[in-house]
Amino acid sequence: MIKISASTNPPKEDELVGYVKQLQKAKVDMLHCDVMRSNFVDNECLSLELLKEVKQHTLLPLDVHLMINEPLSDVKQFAKLGVHNITIHYEAFEWKDVFESAVKVIRKNHAFVGLAVNPKTPIKEIIPLLSMVDIVLIMGVYPGKSGQKMLSNTPKKIEELKQFIRTNNINIQIQVDGGVNMENIKELYNAGADIVVMGNALYTAPSKSKLVSEVHKIKY
């Protein structure tokens, strides 16, 4: 069964707690917490303080996605919240030893490690880091803005990573974020995605419970 990680984007910040309660009622699997800083993307959203407030109102596992350059100090703060996983961008680190330090902090706080890759980053570049992570997040759009259409090469990129995982017998989940909707979700699942991040498609759905139920029924 494919899992849904529901994005905290696009709701406004003052709507977020109420929206998260709706998501929990709809039985999504996780809450994808989009943390953005202007040093990595154009927008800024989801402060540590707001995420603390959200956590007080939900039992959903927090799937934290840091869109932040050199995020080691942020990793230390968010990891202490007791989140399910923290995903950091391959492109956010200039030096591998800093990435390794971030991984150690995440593991020390008993969370899973995610590695995100932007559309222009080829899978072959992240292969040396795969032994350190639990999740690879493939971006189907350029990060920073909700509502974008998924780039056409995204399923092929998922397939390439899935083949490497199977060939090398690695225990890694594949997550995809950006432009996921009911028109492309089965193709993403068939390509090898284990978790889909749903933002705008879920936010605008007339019945969130019905959409979640339909996604959970998708099979090969």
Query: What does the radius of gyration of the chain's CA atoms come to, in whole angstroms?
Result: 16
Q: What residues have CB less than 8 Å from 133, skipping those under 6 apart?
A: 103, 113, 114, 115, 172
Catalytic residue chosen out of the listed positions 29, 74, 177, 194: 177
CA-to-CA dists, residue 115 to 10, 154, 176, 183, angstroms: 22, 16, 11, 26
What is the rounded distance in angstroms from the CA atom of residue 201 to the CA atom of residue 185?
11
Measured CA to CA, the distance from residue 156 to residue 105 in angstroms comes to 32
Neighbours of 183 (CB within 10 A): 10
> Is residue 177 annotated as part of the catalytic site, yes or no?
yes
**3-state SS assignment for residue 116:** strand
Residue 176 contacts residue 135 (beta carbons within 8 Å) = no
Please say if 74 is a catalytic residue. Answer: no
Residue 35: both structure tokens together: 């943390």
**Active-site residue among 34, 63, 74, 194?**
34
Please name the residue that has the structure tokens 């936010």.
Answer: 203
Residue 94 φ/ψ, nearest 5 degrees:
-85, -30
3-state secondary structure of 177: strand
User: Active-site positions?
Assistant: 34, 177
